[in-house]
Structures are given as C-alpha cells and as structure tokens.
Chains A and B, each alone.
Chain A
Amino acid sequence: GAGVSQSPRYKVAKRGQDVALRCDPISGHVSLFWYQQALGQGPEFLTYFQNEAQLDKSGLPSDRFFAERPEGSVSTLKIQRTQQEDSAVYLCASSSDSLSYNEQFFGPGTRLTVL
C-alpha cells in the first residue's frame, strides 16, 4: 500500500477486556515497530520486529502485552485484561532496512480508551 495502515482507528474497551490492534506496514519493509503515546507525551517504544522475528520487546509494560508478526508482514498487538492506564494511542512504524538506519514511516495510530 501507499503507507502504513492501522485498524481500528478507535477502540473503546471495558476494563478487563482483551483487544487486538492491527498494523499493515509498507510492503517489503523489513522492520516494524510499535510505540505507545500517552496524551500530551511523545511516543514510547514497545517492541521491534525484523521480518517475523521479535528482536526487542523491552518496552512492553507488562506480560498483558503481546505482539506478533507471524509472516513478516502484518503485525498484531494484543493487550489482555485491559486496564485504564492502557488508554493511549498505539502507533506502528515500518522501515525498509534493518542493517542501517532508515526513516521510520508511521501509521495514523489506534486510539484505545479503556473505561
């Protein structure tokens, strides 16, 4: 596609519900990143994939957060038993080359509100 797409754009969940957020990166991009952006803050790194391999998950805030990219393309971020503090915008980004720095292209984000 022309850019990184994410779905849904908005998600409202009741506390304790599980949610799944989808990211479609730019076709052919090797690297995929998930970030969490709280209101009024800059994005914070959650996890990184190189193709299907999850090479860094140091930013995941708890074991309720899980991400996968099984075929090295689409990625899903799953949050189990959502809490109010999980309310944020979840941004996905992709870049073309894992060997040297390349620009990260961001999707529009999914705004998650946990009631």
Chain B
Amino acid sequence: SQQGEEDPQALSIQEGENATMNCSYKTSINNLQWYRQNSGRGLVHLILIRSNEREKHSGRLRVTLDTSKKSSSLLITASRAADTASYFCATDAGGATNKLIFGTGTLLAVQP
C-alpha cells in the first residue's frame, strides 16, 4: 500500500504562475524525495530533503519538510509548459533496502 497522500490530485495553472503540491506520509522517515513523471517517460528525481532539514532549494524548486506534521510541500516557481507532468513524493522505508514508498501523485498541467 502507498504511504503518501498528495494534494491536490490535479492542478491546472498558467505559464509563469507558481505551483504548490503537498504530500503527507504516515511513518518516520530518513528522507523524502520528489520525482517527476512525464507521459511516456520514466521517473526523474528532482530533489531530496533529509529528515533533519526543513527547506531545500534547487533552481525553480523549493521543498519544505515538517516532520512533526509528517508533511512536505513542493513549490515550482515561474512554471513553464514543460513542467506539465505528474509529481510524486517518495519516502524511504528505512531498514537495509532503501526502497521508496510513493505517494498518489499530483497531475500538473501548465497552460501556455
């Protein structure tokens, strides 16, 4: 079963606007990651935030993590049509395998 719940399930914005996606998870984590999946393509790793970090930036991406609320958010600033994709948060399950537990995903559509 999937650990993460993401909202919104779908988001449609205009180019240039910011997009915010939220993720909640259920158990303690070592780190949380965000992935992007375009239609017909595999998952692409965007950013990783460790459990002792609260905020991280990478280019137009900003991720926050609140371990007390077991939640994270991904902000994409100045969106582009090429950002249209599904976005997933994923948490590690701990232990020896480093397997990822994915959320349900947010489908982002950026209108040109």
Contacts and interface: CB of A to CB of B under 8 A. Distances in A.
Contacts of B92: 101
Interface in B79-110: 88, 90, 92-93, 96-105
A103 B43 contact: no
Interface in A89-115: 91, 93, 95, 98, 101-109
B94 to A, nearest CB: 10
B31 interface: yes
Given A55-B96, A91-B43, A109-B42, A42 B30 contact: no
Nearest to A48: B97
Give the top 10 A-B pairs by smallest Cβ distance, nearest first.
Answer: A42-B102, A106-B43, A106-B42, A56-B97, A45-B99, A48-B97, A108-B42, A103-B45, A43-B102, A42-B88
Interface of B: 1-2, 4, 30-31, 33, 35, 40-45, 48, 88, 90, 92-93, 96-105
